[in-house]
Amino acid sequence: MKTWEGYTRGINLGGWISQCPREQAHYDSFIGEQDIQTIASWGLDHIRLPIDNDVVSDEEGKFTEGIRYVDNCVKWCRDNGLNIILDLHKAPGYAFYNQDNTLFTDAHVQDAFVGLWKEFAARYGKFSDFVSFELLNEVVDAEPGLWNDLVRRAICEIRKVAPDINIVVGGIRWNSASTLELLDPPYDVNIIFTFHFYDPFLFTHQGAKWIKPLSDLSLQYPGNIEDYRRTVKDLNSYDSHYFTVPGMGRDYLVKRMTPAIDIAKKHDVRIYCGEYGVILNAPGESTVSWFKDMNSIFEEYRIGRAAWTYKSMSFGVINWPGDISEQIIRYL
């Protein structure tokens, strides 16, 4: 499979200008150039920067004063030898956590979405040697045809001013590996398909307070597959994939990632895992084992990736106790 050179090992900066307090004091303190220097010192080659549209633009998709935080991060990455993906995490009329999204039903909102990407292209398109664009994070509720139509429209506008910049596109259902097959084939050689990976979800999200059925879970990785099967039964949730593998471990992870790998081969397209990680509630040594297996798979199949996430957000890589953070960083 093709490798996305320069975007092989990275990390997200979640919680800075996305899913964050709308306060200048937060923007000015959460991430600084020293953090970028730290990430570079780990031997990583890129950052994925989640961006909420209302932090950097108005309702019509025109940049506001908040775009300076993106400007700063782009400069810090350039100065420290890192590439960067500008990920539109929240868009006009859309956020993955909302129930009332209008992006795929309102023509005016779609105009704002495309207009915002025209702004990004005009401002950062000239930096295609180290900047890439990700059109939208975790499309959840769109019909595949509607999403494909909007992708095509946005790409056409970006290409008018940034003909060779890399553009990252994910499938529906939270960027599932299994929905990449619903995307139109890549329009050119600078399109990258992305997926997110948090399997086994019971392990990576155990104790998540925002997912009530998981708030009291405690599971090991690899652990015993029977524990996973028993847990989904206790939760009254039929997750058949736990019953179609002989055990939990690396083979299970490969099986769950295979749809993305197959699409990469079918379309000869580069694929990229934009998010993967483990909640801080999970057992530390099990978490290290999970990252070790993930690293092994990414390396075998030449898949670029960015861990979720650098700090805080319940998944912060640097927030693990003891030497767990150091061990995780080794396997990013």
Tell me whether residue 5 is one of the annotated catalytic residues.
Answer: no
CB atoms within 10 A of CB 323: 10
Helix ranges, 19-138 (H): 24-30, 33-41, 53-56, 67-79, 107-124
pLDDT at residue number 237: 77
CATH 1.20.1050.10 fits 9-204+250-330, yes or no: no
- Which of 275, 299, 300, 326 is labelled catalytic? 275
Beta-carbon-side half-sphere exposure of residue 195 (alpha carbons within 13 Å): 25
CA distance 312 to 318: 8
- Which of 138, 143, 226, 326 is labelled catalytic? 138
Neighbouring residues of 189: CB distance < 8 A, sequence distance ≥ 6: none
pLDDT at residue number 317: 98
CA distance 14 to 7: 17
State residue 63 phi and psi, 5-degree precision: -65, 145
pLDDT at residue number 240: 81
pLDDT at residue number 222: 98
Q: Classify residue 19 as left (phi > 0), alpha (psi -120 to 50) or beta.
A: left
Tell me whether residue 33 is one of the annotated catalytic residues.
Answer: no
pLDDT at residue number 236: 82
Per-residue pLDDT of the chain (332 residues; tens, 9 = 90+): 999 999 999 999 999 999 999 999 999 999 999 999 999 999 999 999 999 999 999 989 999 999 999 999 999 999 999 999 999 999 999 999 998 999 999 999 999 999 999 999 999 999 999 999 999 999 997 899 999 999 999 999 999 999 999 999 999 999 999 999 999 999 999 999 999 999 999 999 999 999 988 989 999 999 999 999 999 998 887 678 899 999 999 999 999 999 999 999 999 999 999 999 999 999 999 999 999 999 999 999 999 999 999 999 999 999 999 999 999 999 99
DSSP for 239-271, written as a single string? -GGGGSSSSSSHHHHHHHHHHHHHHHHHHT-EE
Q: Domain ranges in the chain?
A: 9-204+250-330
Q: Token pair of 318, please?
A: 């640097």
Q: Please give the C-alpha separations between residue 256 and each of 130, 170, 197, 253, 312, in angstroms, as whole numbers.
A: 31, 16, 9, 5, 27
